[in-house]
Structure formats: C-alpha cells, structure tokens
Structure 1
C-alpha cells in the first residue's frame, strides 16, 4: 500500500511581535547563524530587539511559515538610485527543517512576490558563502544562476569570506 505524502502549507507574511518564541528557534541556533551575517542571539531580549528593529521594521522581511508558524525568514533589499532595478535576497531556516525543500519553495514564492510587487526590479541577487553547498542547491533549485565568485567579499567574526553570487532575472 502506498503512503500518502503529507501536504505542507508554506506561506510568507509580515512579521509580528507574537512571532518571538518561534523566531528564537533559528536566531538562537549556532548551526543556522554560522551561515548568516549575524551571530546567534542567546537571550530573549536580544532576539526581541532583532525582531523589532531588523525584521518588523524592515521594508520587506517575511517569516517563512509552515502551517502558519514561523520557521525561518526571508528578506529583500532593493538597490537605490541607479541600482533600483535590482535587489538582494537572503534567507534563514530553522535547522530541523533543512533538506525538506521548504527553503526552495519559500524562495520561489518570495521571488514571485518581489517581481510582482516591485515593477522596477529586473534582477534579484543572492550571495552565499563559498562553502555553503546546501544554500547553493536551494538557489539553483529555485532557478537562480551562479554568476561568479566574489573574493574577500564579506566579514564574519573577523574573517573575510569568499562568496558566490547568484541571480535570477525577471521574465
């Protein structure tokens, strides 16, 4: 007898203060933070400050929700002036949800929402640490194309990291 595959409902919506407990699941996890710009937040107060000042206040930050509960985040920042035709996307997902296709589906949803909601955007970039193979696979499965290596591009804990740049273009 064939088992039915369990349906998952992935959504994106604005962040809310009531998301704090769920947000703690990934912002306090060193396994997730190793790939992000910021280090893990180990106090509830620091996580709340991050939620309020960096996610709720962000022009386009969305929790990746599974059946209505936040399990990760997606952010997009549009370029300005002569770079307003492009922007950069970033994401993080709670460790327990890695490898299940959730980040890929959420990224596809975000790309669609951005291209529909920002008519000037013709290109979305994503940069990923050169040894973050999992995130590279997410980007490629979502339709992004690897364009090249940005050497000594970003600092993390005092170390200068090489990053791959990926992009997807509006059709």
Structure 2
C-alpha cells in the first residue's frame, strides 16, 4: 500500500485538523462526533502537540490525507495510540499499514521507549484486528471499563507492543490465568524467590512472526522452565486507559 505518515504541524494544519475531527463520526471513541468547537478546544489544549504527543497525517497517493494517528504521552515513555480514519477510507487495510509505520517511527525516534499501548472497546472488532495484524498483543480486559452515552458500560481491551518484540520480529503472548513472568530477568527474579514454589511452573510460549512485517504464525509449544533455562517470555503489566 502506497501510504506515508506526515508529521502534523499544529499551527499550520489547525483548520484542516479541526475539520477532519468534526466532519467524521468515530463510533468507537469516547465522543462519537465532535463539534467544531470541541475539536478546536482539544487542539488548543495541546492534545496533538509536541513534546507530549506525536501526531501524523495518514496520507495516500496523491497526497490525500485520509486519517490521523497520534501517539499520546510520548514524553512519559509509554505512548498511547489514537488512530482515526475518515469514514470514506475505512475497511481498506489503511489502519494496519498506518499503525505499523507509526510504530516503526516511534521506536526509531525514541530508543528509550520500551512499549507502545492502545485501548479500545470490546466490540471494535476492526481495531482489535488492526492491533493484532501490526504485532500488538492483548494484555488486559477491563470489565465494564468503557462508559457509553445512555447505555450500559462495555468491556474495554488493551493491547501493546514491546520494543524487544519489534526488534526481533517475534511476538511473545500473554499467558492468561497464570503468573508467568515477562522476560528472562523477571523469570530469574521469580525462580530465586522463596515464595515462588506455589506458582504454576508450566508456561506456554508462542512465536508469532507478525511484528511488524509478517503475519505468519509458528506452532505453539509448551515449555517448562527451571533455574538453568530462563527463556520463557510471556506476561505483561496492563496500563489503564486514557
């Protein structure tokens, strides 16, 4: 797909940004449709401005701005994703391509950043598939965690990608229902703890060749670690949504 990410110039692009945010419906965001005044208020309070955030226009040929991807709280070291496409350009794979490109850009520009995160509603199937196709892993499930206008709350789900997975091209999944640690350092700490004997010692590891360039999956294997074999890398620490 012929797609590029162009850094947003908040001052120069203010009118176009406000028009984009207010002209499109975003049914899976906290506010489905922003008014022009609401969009301008978000711009003025710095929601798209550096250094706290890095925002990019999603551009297809010929220079057609079809969406926006924002990495929020970059300065805090744990960016959160806000991805929006115009209504006319959804369902074409643009979101996946943009998320891959944006992930590459953030990890390349910020060597100190170790993970990038994103949250969405349980029923936002398109966004969940986009996360997975770009090498992100589901790390958390928040029951009744997403409030909706005039309706009961919905569950929210959180995804993230780790720098080490991005570098290696191998996505390490979460082991749900287990206290399995993430990475060799965490496993070393666990196995040296006097309180670790009660934990389940069987961890499942999978190698998913899908981050950020491929979606080919390898077989899942069962691995039983011990003090001499500290290679299981399987769990995550969830982060609350914004």
TM-score range with shorter-chain normalisation?
0.7 to 0.9
Q: 1:120 aligns with which of 112, 121, 128?
A: 112
Structure-2 separation of matches of 1:141 and 1:72: 18
Match of 1:4 in 2: none
Q: 2:112 is paired with a residue of what secondary structure?
A: coil
Q: Mind listing any 5+ residue stretches in structure 2 that lack a counterpart?
A: 165-242
Provide closer, same or farther for how the CA distance between residues 48 and 70 of structure 1 changes in structure 2, counting only shifts above 3 A: farther
Match of 1:14 in 2: 8
Structure-2 separation of matches of 1:96 and 1:166: 26
Provide closer, same or farther for how the CA distance between residues 79 and 25 of structure 1 changes in structure 2, counting only shifts above 3 A: closer
TM-score normalised by the chain length of structure 2: 0.56
Match of 1:63 in 2: 57
Match of 2:80 in 1: 88
TM-score normalised by the chain length of structure 1: 0.77
Provide closer, same or farther for how the CA distance between residues 105 and 79 of structure 1 changes in structure 2, counting only shifts above 3 A: closer
Provide closer, same or farther for how the CA distance between residues 21 and 76 of structure 1 changes in structure 2, counting only shifts above 3 A: closer
Q: Does 1:157 align with 2:149?
A: yes
Structure-2 separation of matches of 1:51 and 1:78: 15
Structure index of larger Rg: 2
Q: Mind listing any 5+ residue stretches in structure 1 that lack a counterpart?
A: 1-6
Q: 1:40 is paired with a residue of what secondary structure?
A: coil
Structure-1 separation of matches of 2:13 and 2:119: 30
Q: Does 1:147 align with 2:139?
A: yes
Deviation of the 1:118 alpha carbon: 1.7
More helix by share: 1
**Alignment check: 8 A CA contact 2:53 2:74 kept:** no
**Alignment check: 8 A CA contact 1:145 1:167 kept:** yes
